[in-house]
């Protein structure tokens, strides 16, 4: 595992969790695993934040980025992803992506978008050192030059209404055209030419997109309020729907990340109707429709341990919490307090 140094010289430990994490005014983990949680914060209040949790020592920090850099992230943190040693945090209502060194939590730079763009989710194309960002309000996908951390204005890609989730794999970018629940398509973009090659019809209200290990994109379709949700499987080679999974439950939309893939174990986890549904990625069947029960906001799977991290938002009136379960749905008795509306989760080793 890589050496991991977090500058917590001004840190304050968390004190509210099922098994209380330790805290210290100065904390160093020479060989640590870290879990980052990007908290959305309240709309219009500029209180997005970054929490960190260290499973090896059961230590947690609620506002790591501010402690390390003396600055706030901005207004509404919607996505965090790792690339080439950096963490990229999409700050939606501030029209920017904040870049941070993932190993030190130190600020690297900011990618600024035109006002009103509303960047939402980010995906990376390793071959060209670029990132693709869904732009909710402009019905387009932006391209970021990661060498200069700038938006490539000439490569703005028109897609469908209110693009939400996005993924880049197999040489393609798949973006869910949510239509705020009324859309029913995904746009498939050639990652090299940055042109839409096909628009594919899926279920109503597509939100999340995740790639599997077999050349497919899994698209969560939440539908309109009250609809039962589904997952559509879109092949990157044929640019067509090859399968669909009827969940039989409602799926929340416009909340946090509702789909998590664990390629190591070949399973997927979906937040649906006050529960987590476990699915087989190979058979495309539901393995357990009630793996764990609760009103969860966001979910992520640690492919190295098989643990499943779920968040609860506490209605945005107080800091949310993160709970850790095993892949079989057993609660590990480990949890930690995060920030307001805890959303995107990434694992660092």
Q: Which residue has the higher pLDDT, 54 or 2?
A: 54
Neighbours of 343 (CB within 10 A): 27
Predicted pLDDT of residue 179? 96
Query: pLDDT confidence of 11, banded at 50, 70, 90?
Result: very low
Is the model's pLDDT at 153 over the cut of 90?
A: no
- Radius of gyration of the chain measured on its C-alpha atoms: 19
Predicted pLDDT of residue 317? 83
Is the model's pLDDT at 9 over the cut of 50?
A: no
* Exposure of 237 in the CB half-sphere (CA atoms within 13 A): 5
Neighbours of 95 (CB within 10 A): 20
Fold of 113-251: Methylamine Dehydrogenase; Chain H (2.130.10)
Block residue for tokens 């992520």: 300
Q: Where are the domains of the chain?
A: 1-38+49-71+87-93+255-349, 113-251
Q: What angle do CA 144, 222, 126 make, to 5 degrees?
A: 25
Spatial distance between the Cα atoms of 144 and 165, rounded to a whole number of angstroms = 17
Block residue for tokens 């290990």: 213
Question: What are 349's two structure tokens?
Answer: 């080793």
pLDDT digits (tens, 9 = 90+) for 47-93: 999 999 999 888 899 899 999 999 999 999 999 999 999 999 999 99
Three-class SS state of 301: strand
- Kindly report which listed range (125-129, 236-240, 331-335) carries the lowest average pLDDT score: 125-129
Neighbours of 193 (CB within 10 A): 9
- Kindly report which listed range (29-33, 129-133, 246-250, 336-340) carries the lowest average pLDDT score: 29-33
Residues 343 and 28 sit within 8 Å (Cβ to Cβ): no
Spatial distance between the Cα atoms of 10 and 292, rounded to a whole number of angstroms = 37
Q: What angle do CA 340, 344, 345 make, to 5 degrees?
A: 110
Q: What are phi and psi of 95, to 5 degrees?
A: 55, 55
Is the model's pLDDT at 347 over the cut of 90?
A: yes
Predicted pLDDT of residue 332? 97
Spatial distance between the Cα atoms of 40 and 49, rounded to a whole number of angstroms = 7
Residues 218 and 284 sit within 8 Å (Cβ to Cβ): no
pTM: 0.92
Predicted pLDDT of residue 25? 42
What average pLDDT does the structure give for the chain? Answer: 91
Question: What are 248's two structure tokens?
Answer: 């039989």
pLDDT digits (tens, 9 = 90+) for 89-113: 999 999 999 999 999 999 999 999 9
Spatial distance between the Cα atoms of 80 and 122, rounded to a whole number of angstroms = 8
């Amino acid at each position: 595992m890589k050496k991991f140094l977090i500058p917590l010289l001004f840190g304050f430990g968390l004190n509210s969790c099922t098994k209380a994490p330790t805290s210290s005014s100065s904390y160093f983990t020479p060989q640590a695993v870290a879990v980052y949680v990007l908290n959305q914060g309240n709309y219009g209040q500029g209180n997005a934040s970054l929490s960190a949790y260290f499973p090896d020592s059961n230590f947690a920090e609620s506002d790591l980025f501010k402690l390390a850099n003396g600055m706030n992230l901005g207004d509404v943190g919607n996505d965090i992803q790792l690339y080439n040693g950096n963490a990229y945090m999409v700050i939606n209502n501030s029209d920017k992506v904040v870049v941070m060194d993932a190993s030190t939590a130190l600020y690297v730079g900011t990618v600024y978008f035109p006002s009103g763009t509303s960047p939402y989710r980010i995906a990376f194309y390793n071959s060209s050192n670029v990132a693709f960002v869904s732009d909710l309000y402009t019905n387009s996908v932006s391209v970021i030059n990661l060498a200069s951390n700038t938006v490539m204005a000439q490569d703005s890609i028109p897609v469908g209404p209110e693009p939400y989730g996005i993924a880049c794999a197999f040489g393609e970018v798949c973006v869910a055209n949510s239509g705020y629940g009324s859309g029913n398509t995904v746009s498939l973009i050639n990652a090299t030419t940055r042109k839409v090659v096909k628009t594919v019809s899926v279920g109503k209200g597509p939100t999340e997109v995740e790639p599997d290990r077999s050349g497919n994109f899994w698209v969560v379709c939440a539908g309109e309020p009250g609809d039962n949700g589904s997952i559509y499987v879109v092949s990157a080679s044929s640019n067509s729907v090859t399968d669909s999974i009827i969940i039989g439950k409602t799926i929340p939309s416009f909340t946090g990340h509702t789909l998590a893939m664990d390629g190591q174990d070949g399973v997927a986890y979906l937040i649906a109707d006050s529960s987590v549904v476990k699915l087989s990625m190979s058979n495309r069947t539901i393995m357990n429709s009630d793996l764990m029960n609760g009103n969860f906001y966001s979910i992520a799977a640690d492919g190295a341990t098989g643990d499943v991290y779920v968040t609860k938002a506490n209605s945005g009136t107080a800091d949310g919490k993160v709970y850790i379960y095993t892949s079989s749905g057993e609660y590990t008795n480990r949890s930690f307090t995060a920030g307001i509306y805890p959303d995107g989760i990434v694992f660092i080793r």
